[in-house]
Amino acid sequence: MEREEIRRIIEGLIFVSDEPVDEKTFEKVLGDSVDLSTIRGILEELKLEYSSSLHGFELVEVAGGYQFRTKKELGEWIRKLEKFQPQRFSRSAMEVLSIIAYKQPVTRAEIEAMRGGIDSSGALRTLLTRKLIKISGRKNDAPGRPFTYSTTKKFLEVFGLKDLSDLPPIEEFMKKEEEKEV
């Protein structure tokens, strides 16, 4: 297959997908004759091409795949359309989400202890309904075998992260504070 043809196919596959398309899907569709390095090279090319100021959207690597998203500068224009009303995040929901992102799987009691005993059930419910977190299991060695919570793929998608390791190490956020004090 010609490289240009592969490129067109890859572009088309991303266009028709609702979710980020991962490398495995490209491999499956394109078959054995196309190797992973060619696919990766083309994805890099497409990323570069759409990053140009000529386009209103770009190719983003997110949640383990590739997805077309509008550029940030366009936000204020797109939000003028009624159906694109921005989602809001409460302070407490963001705190709980941050703790889960770094401490998962984590129980509600553990989250509350880290927040100085604040009842976090409301925040957890909000995050569950928005599918940013999920119940990932139970903590068997704790009394009452409480549920544990983890972040979802949607969390990665919403915050534009490739995977969990895309989050900076927690120490970086602690260092900051020390630096501030000096």
Closest alpha carbon to 14 in 51, 44, 43, 56: 43
Query: Quick check: 157 binds other proteins (CB under 8 A)?
Result: yes
CA distance 68 to 19: 10
Cβ distance 58 to 71 under 8 Å? Answer: yes
Would you say 6 or 58 has its CB closer to other proteins? Answer: 58
Query: Quick check: 109 binds other proteins (CB under 8 A)?
Result: no
Report the half-sphere exposure of 176 (CA within 13 A, side-chain side). 7
User: Which tokens go with 132?
Assistant: 């940013």
Would you say 117 or 144 has its CB closer to other proteins? Answer: 117
Determine which residue in the list 2, 82, 179, 181 makes contact with other proteins, applying CB under 8 A: 181
Query: Quick check: 69 binds other proteins (CB under 8 A)?
Result: yes
Task: Give the interface size with other proteins as a residue count (CB under 8 A).
Answer: 46
CA distance 155 to 136: 14
Would you say 64 or 160 has its CB closer to other proteins? Answer: 160
Determine which residue in the list 116, 129, 144, 165 makes contact with other proteins, applying CB under 8 A: 116
Report the 3 state secondary structure along 95-115.
Answer: HHHHHHHHHCCEEHHHHHHHC
Q: List interacting residues with other proteins (CB under 8 A).
A: 16, 18, 60, 67-72, 74-75, 78, 83-84, 86-87, 89, 91-92, 94-95, 97-99, 101-102, 113-119, 157-161, 167-168, 170, 173-174, 176-177, 181
